[in-house]
Amino acid sequence: MFPFAFEWVPEATRYVFMGSLYAVLISLIIIMHYCVIRAFLDLICPKKNHNNH
């Protein structure tokens, strides 16, 4: 539920719960995008010393 939904009740618990959920989801989305973008950049400008792991 988003704060602009009519069912949203402005109370501390709701901000903590939903805020934590969105914080985690946004963190995961950022990490995935970061990895995809870095992999794409490596593809178009390859580095010489890319260590295999």
Partner 1 sequence: MDSASAPFDSALFPEGVKRCKLKWFLFWIAVLHGPLMVGIVATLMCWGLALNVTYLNNNYPFGLWIAADLGVIALGAGAFFTGFLRYVVNIEELKNIVNYAVVIGVMCYASAQGILGIDIGQPLRGWFIFWHANVHSMLTEVAFCITCYFMVLCIEYLPLILENRQINKFRFFHGMAHHLHGAMPTIAAIGVFLSFFHQGSLGGVPGVLYGRPFAYREGFLVWPWTFFLFILSAIACGPCFTILITRITEGCARKRLVKRNVIEILAKISGRLLAVYLVLKIVDTLYWIVIAGRVGAPLSSFYVNQPYGYWVLITEIGILGVIPAIILLNTKARQNDSLLIIACILNCTGIFMNRWIMTVQSLAVPVMSFDKFVSYHPNWVEYATTFVFVWVSAIVIMLSYRYLPIFPQEKELNPL
Residue type, 3: P
User: CA-to-CA distance for 39 and 33, rounded, in angstroms?
Assistant: 10
User: CA-to-CA distance for 25 and 8, rounded, in angstroms?
Assistant: 19
48 belongs to the binding site for partner 1 (CB under 8 A):
no
Mark residues 1-40: x for contact with partner 1 by CB under 8 A, - for none: x---x-x---x-xx-xxx-xx--xx-xx--xx-xxx-xxx
- Which stretches within 1-53 are classed as H helix? 12-44
Residues that bind partner 1 (CB under 8 A): 1, 5, 7, 11, 13-14, 16-18, 20-21, 24-25, 27-28, 31-32, 34-36, 38-40, 42-43, 46, 50, 53
